[in-house]
C-alpha cells in the first residue's frame, strides 16, 4: 500500500513538473497570461498526461528522453523537448524543488524492460 502511494506521488509530481514547464514556455513564447495555456500548449499538456499515465514503467520510469520505447509521436516529442530546453534552466530559479527532483530522476538509472 505504501509503495502505491509513493508511486502515485511520483507520477503526480511528474505531471506537475510538465505543467509548470509548459506554463513558463507558453507565457514567454505565446504571450499567455497567468496559469493559462494557449491551445497548442494545452494540447501538448493533455498529450503528455496521457503518455505519463500509459507509461509501462509507471512511477519507476526514468526520463522519457532516455527511454528505449519512445511512446511520444515524433512531433510531440520534438515539442516537449523544445519546452524542456527552454524551461529546464529557468526551473532552478522559479521552482527549485521540482527542478532538483527532475534532475535526480534524470540521473537515476533508466528502467529495463
- What is the C-alpha to C-alpha distance for residues 72 and 94, in angstroms, rounded to an integer? 27
Domain spans of the chain?
Answer: 2-107
Q: What number of other Cβ atoms are within 10 A of residue 16's Cβ?
A: 13
The pLDDT assigned to 63 comes to: 76
Cα(62)–Cα(69) distance, rounded to whole angstroms? 12
Say what the pLDDT of residue 108 is.
65
5 burial type by CB count under 10 A (0-12 exposed, 13-18 middle, 19+ buried): exposed
pLDDT per residue, tens digit, the chain (113 aa), is 556 666 778 889 889 999 999 999 999 999 888 889 999 999 999 999 999 999 888 877 777 777 788 889 999 999 999 999 999 899 899 999 988 887 777 676 544 44
Amino acid at each position: 500500500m505504501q509503495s502505491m502511494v509513493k508511486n502515485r506521488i511520483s507520477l503526480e509530481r511528474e505531471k506537475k513538473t510538465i505543467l509548470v514547464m509548459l506554463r513558463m514556455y507558453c507565457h514567454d513564447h505565446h504571450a499567455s497570461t497567468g496559469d493559462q495555456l494557449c491551445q497548442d500548449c494545452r494540447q501538448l499538456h493533455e498529450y503528455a498526461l496521457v503518455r505519463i499515465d500509459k507509461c509501462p514503467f509507471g512511477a519507476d520510469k526514468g526520463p522519457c528522453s532516455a527511454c528505449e520505447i519512445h511512446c511520444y509521436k515524433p512531433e510531440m516529442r520534438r515539442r516537449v523537448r523544445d519546452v524542456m530546453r527552454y524551461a529546464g534552466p529557468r526551473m532552478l530559479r522559479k521552482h527549485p524543488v521540482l527542478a532538483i527532483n527532475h534532475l535526480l530522476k534524470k540521473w537515476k538509472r533508466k528502467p529495463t524492460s
